[in-house]
Amino acid sequence: MGSATKGKLTFAYMGDVSQQKGFKALFALFNKKFPGITLTAQAIPANNWATFTNAVATKIAGGSQIDVINIATEGQRLFASKGILTPLEPFIKQDQGVVDEYWSDCNPNLKKWNTKYASTDGKTYYMPGGFNTMALYANKDVFAQAGVSLPGSNWTWDDFLSAGKQILSKTGAFLMPAASGATAGYFTDVMPWLTTNGASTFNADWSKATYDSPAAIESANFARGLVEQGLAPKPGGQFDAPSQLAKGKLAMLGGGRWPTINMRDLKIVDKVQIVNWPIKTGHGSPVGWDAWPITASSQNKQAAWTFIKFLMSKEAGEYFATLGGTIVPARNSVAKSPAFTDNAPVGSTLLSDALSFSTPIPSPDRGAECQKVIEDSWLSVISGNAKAEEALPAANSKLNNLLK
């Protein structure tokens, strides 16, 4: 088995054609090294990973050529269960040195999770790439105007509330949103509060819902308290968090790497600092990562593997890093380099450091349905339309039914 240098490949991703400009630039980098391999990006619109999975499976069954797919954590196990991917062990063995070098530059959790959560039979179907964790983007001017010091790495929920009350009193600014616009995002709004209180929506192997635990209920009540105390805007309606942060009407907003693009567009990179999420029982964050499999139906598997090896390279990692609003590079060397930290808020490396204490976003096979149950129930609590002690146990029952 040798690395292929010729062939045609189709790279599929969930999204619309607007993203193809970025992929074409990435392909141009690849083609400098491998001019004989032609790459085409294929956008497949979908509202969730279940829809995307079915669309890809249907296309493959109909004879469409799809060789490599970009799949986030939420869709990886579902894809692996469909029998449409090829195990990567032979390719890894072929280039063991390349793969070992890659793993040596990544947090070991990423390697462990790649099989534990992305396989149904213990085989390796993916090579993981960039990821996102959650932290807080803080407006340094708002904190200074309120006479509040920027938080250290171990600040607590109580410290967070105290800071918020002083900021509201001195500046009139909200502390942070409790919801992402009219919804309560599973990754962005629910999981950070659960994980910093030692809780999650499911147990470690996603076989049982744990959304009704005392710690989860306490977390939901805490998030509701932000709205009740006027520290967060009421959920619903239009609240443009990045612009409100820029105007000094919001002290903080949560996010992974993606708000960096907003900070650049608003020209406030230097006014913002990234800090850890406050803790109740310990540091926590959800994490989700991109990964790349080769389809079982691919007629150019060696060329596909050549492309995946390129995606694992420092060169490709630096390309993704400079985009600024997409992902945290899997390689530690890139995540700590100017390619990632230049023109980005101070504290950006905390997003990479968070991988050591993060919880993979629970994504069982019926993940899209589970996500809706979680988000709807959380939103009902923080909006004041339901009590956490009733809403979360009811949701937990629905989640366990979706696991059957």
Structural domain contains residue 122: yes
In angstroms, how far is the first alpha carbon of the chain from the final one?
A: 42
Nearest Cα to Cα of residue 133 among 316, 310, 291, 283: 283
Please tell me whether residues 120 and 256 are part of one structural domain: no
Please tell me whether residues 162 and 279 are part of one structural domain: yes
Query: Could you identify the residue written with the tokens 């803080």?
Result: 138
Please tell me whether residues 107 and 190 are part of one structural domain: no
Q: Is-contact 339 267, C-beta < 8 A?
A: no
**CA neighbours within 13 Å on the CB side: how many for 341?**
14
Query: Could you identify the residue written with the tokens 């969730």?
Result: 48
pTM: 0.94
Q: How far apart, in whole angstroms, are the C-alpha atoms of residue 169 and residue 322?
A: 38
Structural domain contains residue 349: yes
DSSP reduced 3-state for 142? helix
By residue range, what is the domain housing residue 388?
Answer: 135-286+363-402
Residue 258: CB partners within 8 Å, gap ≥ 6?
132, 325, 326
Structural domain contains residue 98: yes
Beta bridge partners of 8: 38
Q: How far apart, in whole angstroms, are the C-alpha atoms of residue 403 and residue 367?
A: 9
Other beta carbons within 10 Å of 236: 12
pLDDT at 51: 86
Please tell me whether residues 229 and 277 are part of one structural domain: yes
pLDDT at 248: 98
Q: How far apart, in whole angstroms, are the C-alpha atoms of residue 32 and residue 105?
A: 24
pLDDT at 191: 98
Please tell me whether residues 332 and 300 are part of one structural domain: yes
Please tell me whether residues 251 and 386 are part of one structural domain: yes
Please tell me whether residues 183 and 236 are part of one structural domain: yes
Please tell me whether residues 334 and 378 are part of one structural domain: no
DSSP reduced 3-state for 76? helix
Beta bridge partners of 131: 289, 328
Please tell me whether residues 220 and 269 are part of one structural domain: yes
Structural domain contains residue 17: yes
Beta bridge partners of 106: 331
Token pair for residue 122? 């213990």
pLDDT at 48: 82
The count of structural domains within the chain is 2
Nearest Cα to Cα of residue 308 among 122, 37, 116: 37
The CATH number of residue 192's host domain is 3.40.190.10
Structural domain contains residue 230: yes
pLDDT at 238: 81
pLDDT at 1: 44
Report, as ranges of residue numbers, the positions in the chain whose pLDDT lies below 70: 1-3, 324-325
Nearest Cα to Cα of residue 210 among 222, 224, 198: 198
Please tell me whether residues 62 and 185 are part of one structural domain: no
Please tell me whether residues 107 and 219 are part of one structural domain: no
DSSP, res 233: P
Residue 390: CB partners within 8 Å, gap ≥ 6?
none
Amino acid sitting at position 138: A
Structural domain contains residue 1: no
Please tell me whether residues 304 and 381 are part of one structural domain: no
Structural domain contains residue 179: yes
pLDDT at 3: 62
Structural domain contains residue 2: no
